[in-house]
Structure 1
Amino acid sequence: MTDRAQAQEILEQLAGPRAVLRDDQWTAIEALVVHRRRALVVQRTGWGKSAVYFIAAKLLRAAGHGPTVIVSPLLALMRNQVAAADRAGVHAATINSSNVTEWDEIHQRVRGGELDVLLVSPERLNNPDFRDAVLPALARDAGLVVVDEAHCVSDWGHDFRPDYRRIRTLIAELGADIPVLATTATANDRVVDDVAAQLGVGGGDTLVLRGGLDRESLRLSVVKAGNPAQRAAWLAAHLDSLPGSGIVYTLTVAQARDIAALLTEQGHTVAAYTGGTEAAEREQLEADLLANRVKALIATSALGMGFDKPDLGFVVHLGAPSSPIAYYQQVGRAGRSTDSAEVILLPGREDQDVWRYFSSVAFPQETLVRKVIRELDPERPQSTAALEPLVDLNRTRLEMVLKVLDVDGAVRRVKGGWVGTGQEWEYDEARYRRLDEARKREQQAMLDYQTTDSCRMAFLRAQLDDPDLTEGERCGRCDNCAGARYDADVDTTAVEDTRRRLMRPGVEISPRRQWPSGLGTLGLDLRGRITDGPEPGRVIGRLTDLGWGARLRRLLDEPDAEVPDEVVDAAVQVLASWDWETRPTAVMALDSDTHPLLITSLAGALARLGRLTDLGVLPYAPGRRPVTAANSAYRVAALHGAWESPDLGGNTGPVLLVDDVTDTGWTLTMASRVVRAAGAPAVLPFALASVS
């Protein structure tokens, strides 16, 4: 019989000799180890959820049971947990995208019984080799299965991931006496019910252990500092006064990079951390923050669940997340072992534009999804890349659809790609509509959080259906309870300096170098490297920039008109700093359905100011149709033959090709080929804005 003293001893190995096992932690451990139950633990960040499953893992192993399998979503979380396991004498290893070279060895250690704990990313659960060769043995012999950040299992959760849905299949195949633990800090009643039901698959009720979500160290504030330049200046002015080191969250990759560059220029020790940051660099940046070598990481949500720095002194949001539940999860990184930590939200009017964009890439319409199913053969696997030219979905959305269909049983991932299963599949339109409505309610709640005069911590706890929250309860620490600690005003000179830095125009856009695969399926004999495309180009700014973003969005949303002088001035600055090999001798505007006057007037102004030959407009071909294709192959096929061959009027130098917005880069690439085929030695693409 397992006793509490053993659990206390292991906890001290994990967390130090002063650590004391709490009653609720022991309740969870006893349920797993003694009673072999399935449990869902919903507890605030810092409560000690990982201690529960590491102690349970070691006790089960000592009793002769198999290894514990932990499904964990982020690399940062895995690295921290392997280190924690080692402290407790638990032999742990992880399988994820950053250690591919070690997978075979780890599989052997699993089969040889050498590992106490195996941490796997949810994506690995449906890797054919892992699913077919390793997972069955784990499902048969596991001592415990842990689902960390379990709100990802539920499509009602703020960070739903299709790969997590596969966990239901794993649990259904477990032996009846193998305990299962799911943990999360962010789940409201609906998510708790959904996750508990899914964990109950295969028999047995799920024990739900749910605690209060108040965080006594967090001091929540909302500072309405104004426009992007004012908010960035406020951050620069206050960063050094914030306690310790921390995280500054932004809503987009572009914003993270811009703010990191701005703060670095002003002498702050910061770095950008986004989904585009290489795995090795991410690990180094995490180590830098843990060791307080940086004041802050300027991060997107890529630095979220599982990053564990107990003494993190502050979390600042430069722009509001679209969900108060996601917001609570991110601010929960702060103040886990400190008496006080600052949590500051700097909202902006443009936040809702970002929310709308991410909402627009939700699950596709039924016709597109059914086309994916129809294109898959039950015998001949197709890779995602090969499938992409056959359906009008970009790579990211196509992969998401395939994962959902895989979970639903309509398709299956195998070696070499995907196959159809022939099973009937129903498009659950009512569920997708309910999800969309829930998303809108969360967005409104996030706006309400910014304007409420009630307790901010109580507001967030209510959003998470905290069972310990009492009516009228106040934290006594937030700005609404204890008074504002931060003035929203910023020195006007600092604001102007920040605005000038942010408004420096000019972002390089890289040309397309490789044709998408599968164009032969669409009737085009194009493959391999692109040898007749444009040179690297420039845009004034990104639509997601804190500087030019809002101004460019307004310009493109307004009715078509002559280009404003300030935009011309910005374009001239970009051209003046362009380090081209050969200066352009002529300028040409792309034909446009939406902004013909804006584009032609910009091209004309650049021709006059730069003393370039104005070649007019590259005209659309007769019968050409507007391009709405989502993925690269469909887009190239639709753009092929879209323009007439232009008359270059004897011009023999490089041509500056002007457009309004560039997104995928294919429009400028395909148009540049037409201009080059007409005799231009080089084409330099230039646009007002890029989408990202």
Structure 2
Amino acid sequence: MTDTRTSALAVLRSLVGSDDAEFHEGQYEAIETLVDEHRRALVVQRTGWGKSAVYFVATLLLRRRGAGPTILVSPLLALMRDQVAAAARAGVRAVAINSANAHEWSQILESLRDDEVDILLVSPERLNNPAFRENQLPTLVSRAGLVVVDEAHCISDWGHDFRPDYRRLRDLVASLPPGVPVLATTATANSRVVADVAEQLAHPASGPGAGSVTELTEPVVTIRGPLARASLRLGVLRLPDSGSRLAWLLTNLSSLPGSGIIYALTVSAAEDTARLLREAGHAVHAYTGRTDTAEREALEGRLKNNEVKALVATSALGMGFDKPDLGFVLHLGAPSSPVAYYQQVGRAGRATANAEVLLLPGNEDEAIWSYFATASMPDERKAKAVIAELSDEPLSTPALEARVDLRRTPLELLLKVLDVDGAVRRVQGGWVSTGEPWSYDAERYARISAARVAEAQAMLDYERLGPGSTGCRMEFLQRALDDETAVPCGRCDNCAGPWYPNGIEEQAAVAATASLERVGVELEPRAQWPGGMERLGVPVRGNIAAGERMSAGRALARLTDLGWGGTLRELFAPGAVDAPASPALIAACVRVLAEWGWQERPVAVASVPSQRHPLLVESVARGLAGAGRLPYLGSVPIANGGPSGDPGGNSAYRLASVWERFAADGLDTPAGHPVLLVDDLADSRWTLTVVSRALRLGGASEVLPFVLALRA
């Protein structure tokens, strides 16, 4: 195909609307590998290099040669929206099948049947949807002209954003007809991830001599380029506490160029920061995993159109978000690895000469990293328990919750891991056992855990590169990604000196302090009993009777909050000594009650008998009773030996562990009046629910729960 380059260049120039456009180094080589050689390629190139141009051009050339549509596996709805929009601008007919557009699926499938689609975007989760996997996927695979795996580092559990569903792509690739090319792309993969992804993409050779084990795999063509981003000016500004960081942001946000993203480590931090900035007159909004799909799309559009100064986001706004002129990326708290940090800052300066990237690390960062560290690691005991409960008859996830003590989210994640490992399978109606043997790969998970620890230390090392040190920040990030072209950038605060202001206005400091001192988070009451409780010996089902429910309550703060969350994290840290609450803590709790706005004031205070913090809980209960001049009834008496097991667990098991373990008949409950119920930490809320039920059955007209902390 001697004219492939000429045709490819013509397509590229049409796509970008420029008659003098040329390929970046490596772009045509990738296209040639796919179109002429029908090989498999892994492209590791910096954000903004033009990875999408490779698969757009390759798709159009392959389609001209009679190939079927491209299947593009993409991890995020935001990324899909950008890719569909970019394809339309490029004259490529792209459509997406995902959870947000189910109403369009039948029309999309009809267009596929009529060969009116060039690229079909699907999520990795969709590949394991039973109906899609059984009814649509085989036909798509048989007709596919090209398979593209975007953000391919997600395939590898060594990657910073591993997703179990991505592992399923090994099976998709293995099922392709001979000669179908495959492209995997990412901007964030070190050598270990590259090797892992390449191994999973390798496929049976189709040429002469195939047959032996060593001959069954054809090497994947790996195209790596330099990862330096010349437009980015990196810096780290360490401030003493959350209040100082927020005050700096209030003082300096307006002076940052254009519009950008402010990353926070937790949902509550993002929401609290956005609220504070809005109250100060800044055009900002929070963007988190709690933001619904329609609002996310609207917020992305407003940022792209420069209608907001910034989105205060968690990692929910990350891979693939495409705003070429994004002027800055700030971090309030650091991600847990330099690779993850590089991925997020890569959103900035894609088509501008300059963009500012500043990290404001927090003292709480390491505690937050630790909290999320093992989220994707299967627990051997629980994995075997799940497998033991499954058979060839489908069992739904809620039904499994009544059989295995795992909460919904970690249970679903574990099922995905076991599915990818071949031990279980998702079918219509739930999950079944495959009957295949499964063993826990302890060595592998230990190595992954060790790698996570090393990455966290590397992030701390990045933060501590001070002026005059031997390290350039961009060079450090490149070396973390095993980029052999790494050299000093000449722009970061180490190479050229601090470029960012460090002043804080007094008014901003006052506003930040006031924001952090805010108290009070609503505590939602449980309204329904978990399913399957009869199996655990608890005779309840359906809605909780109105006369037995607790009312909506309050917490002082969430454990993840920027303000009081820090104090509470210390109180509830493993190994923390139980002690009475400080006067400042009691005063903050009194403020929550003063702002509560209940319909009828409680006439007495009771407390939950705490196993871990009895002194803390009793002191808070007595403090609130004294402040309100109310009688303290004492702790609700324990019955039948008290709660069994540890706090946490899923709803079914947690309810079973506390059911009928409290009796209010030994308490002088005021009949026909509300009672304030005090506890330390609300997690599943079943202890509060059961104790409140006992108080309601003992005569209280209403139970108003108050806790120091919400788990999330």
Q: Distance in 1 between matches of 2:584 and 2:645?
A: 30
Q: In the alignment, residue 542 of structure 1 is paired with which amino acid?
A: R
Note the C-alpha offset of 1:493: 4.4
> In structure 2, what is the equivalent of residue 300 of structure 1?
314
1:461 matches 2:478: yes
> In structure 1, what is the equivalent of residue 255 of structure 2?
241
Selected match of 1:384 from 397, 409, 430 = 397
Selected match of 2:659 from 631, 634, 640 = 640
Matched length: 688
Sort the Cα spacing of 1:650 and 1:205 in 2 relative to 1 into closer, same or farther, 3 A. Answer: closer
Q: Distance in 2 between matches of 1:389 and 1:243?
A: 53
With structure 1 as the length reference, what TM-score do the two structures score? 0.98
Q: Distance in 2 between matches of 1:309 and 1:383?
A: 41
Secondary structure of the corresponding residue to residue 166 of structure 1: helix
1:544 matches 2:560: yes
Note the C-alpha offset of 1:136: 1.0
Note the C-alpha offset of 1:63: 0.7
> In structure 2, what is the equivalent of residue 662 of structure 1?
682
> 2:640, 2:660 within 8 Å by CA — same for their partners in 1?
no
> 1:223, 1:487 within 8 Å by CA — same for their partners in 2?
no
Q: In the alignment, residue 191 of structure 2 is paired with which amino acid?
A: D
Q: Distance in 2 between matches of 1:545 and 1:280?
A: 26
Q: Once the two structures are superposed, what CA deviation does each residue of 1:476-512 show, in whole Å capped at 9, x if it has no partner?
A: 0000001001243423443233111221111111111
Q: Distance in 2 between matches of 1:595 and 1:34?
A: 68
Q: In the alignment, residue 645 of structure 1 is paired with which amino acid?
A: A
> In structure 1, what is the equivalent of residue 607 of structure 2?
589
Deviates more, 1:546-555 or 1:252-261: 546-555
Note the C-alpha offset of 1:32: 0.4
1:270 matches 2:284: yes
Q: Distance in 1 between matches of 2:335 and 2:146?
A: 35
Deviates more, 1:605-614 or 1:288-297: 605-614
> In structure 1, what is the equivalent of residue 234 of structure 2?
220
Note the C-alpha offset of 1:138: 1.7
Sort the Cα spacing of 1:111 and 1:521 in 2 relative to 1 into closer, same or farther, 3 A. Answer: farther
Q: Once the two structures are superposed, what CA deviation does each residue of 1:561-619 show, in whole Å capped at 9, x if it has no partner?
A: 22211111111111111121111111101101111111111111111211222111112
Note the C-alpha offset of 1:16: 2.3
1:437 matches 2:424: no
Q: Distance in 2 between matches of 1:498 and 1:74?
A: 33
> 2:669, 2:698 within 8 Å by CA — same for their partners in 1?
no
1:627 matches 2:627: no
Sort the Cα spacing of 1:674 and 1:627 in 2 relative to 1 into closer, same or farther, 3 A. Answer: farther
Note the C-alpha offset of 1:202: 3.3
1:675 matches 2:695: yes
Note the C-alpha offset of 1:12: 2.7
- Root mean square deviation of aligned Cα: 1.3
Q: Distance in 2 between matches of 1:561 and 1:677?
A: 32
1:490 matches 2:504: yes
Q: In the alignment, residue 103 of structure 1 is paired with which amino acid?
A: W
Q: Distance in 2 between matches of 1:494 and 1:242?
A: 16
Structural mapping, 1:444-455, within 5 Å: 444-452=457-465, 453=469, 454-455=471-472
Note the C-alpha offset of 1:547: 0.9
Q: Once the two structures are superposed, what CA deviation does each residue of 1:18-38 show, in whole Å capped at 9, x if it has no partner?
A: 533234111110110011110
Selected match of 1:603 from 621, 629, 632 = 621
Structural mapping, 1:146-295, within 5 Å: 146-203=148-205, 204-295=218-309
> 1:211, 1:467 within 8 Å by CA — same for their partners in 2?
no
Secondary structure of the corresponding residue to residue 342 of structure 1: strand
Selected match of 2:138 from 130, 136, 139 = 136
Q: Distance in 2 between matches of 1:567 and 1:651?
A: 31
Structural mapping, 1:253-402, within 5 Å: 253-378=267-392, 380-402=393-415
1:475 matches 2:489: yes
Q: Distance in 1 between matches of 2:222 and 2:675?
A: 66
Sort the Cα spacing of 1:360 and 1:90 in 2 relative to 1 into closer, same or farther, 3 A. Answer: closer
Q: Distance in 2 between matches of 1:651 and 1:567?
A: 31
Identical counterparts, % of pairs: 57
> 1:78, 1:119 within 8 Å by CA — same for their partners in 2?
yes
Unmatched 5+ stretches in structure 2: 206-217
Unmatched 5+ stretches in structure 1: none
Note the C-alpha offset of 1:163: 0.4
Q: Once the two structures are superposed, what CA deviation does each residue of 1:405-446 show, in whole Å capped at 9, x if it has no partner?
A: 111111111111110010111110111110100000000000
> In structure 1, what is the equivalent of residue 212 of structure 2?
none
Q: In the alignment, residue 406 of structure 1 is paired with which amino acid?
A: D
Selected match of 1:559 from 577, 581, 594 = 577
Note the C-alpha offset of 1:688: 0.8
> 1:151, 1:187 within 8 Å by CA — same for their partners in 2?
yes
Moved over 6 A (4+): none
Secondary structure of the corresponding residue to residue 49 of structure 2: coil
> 1:12, 1:19 within 8 Å by CA — same for their partners in 2?
yes
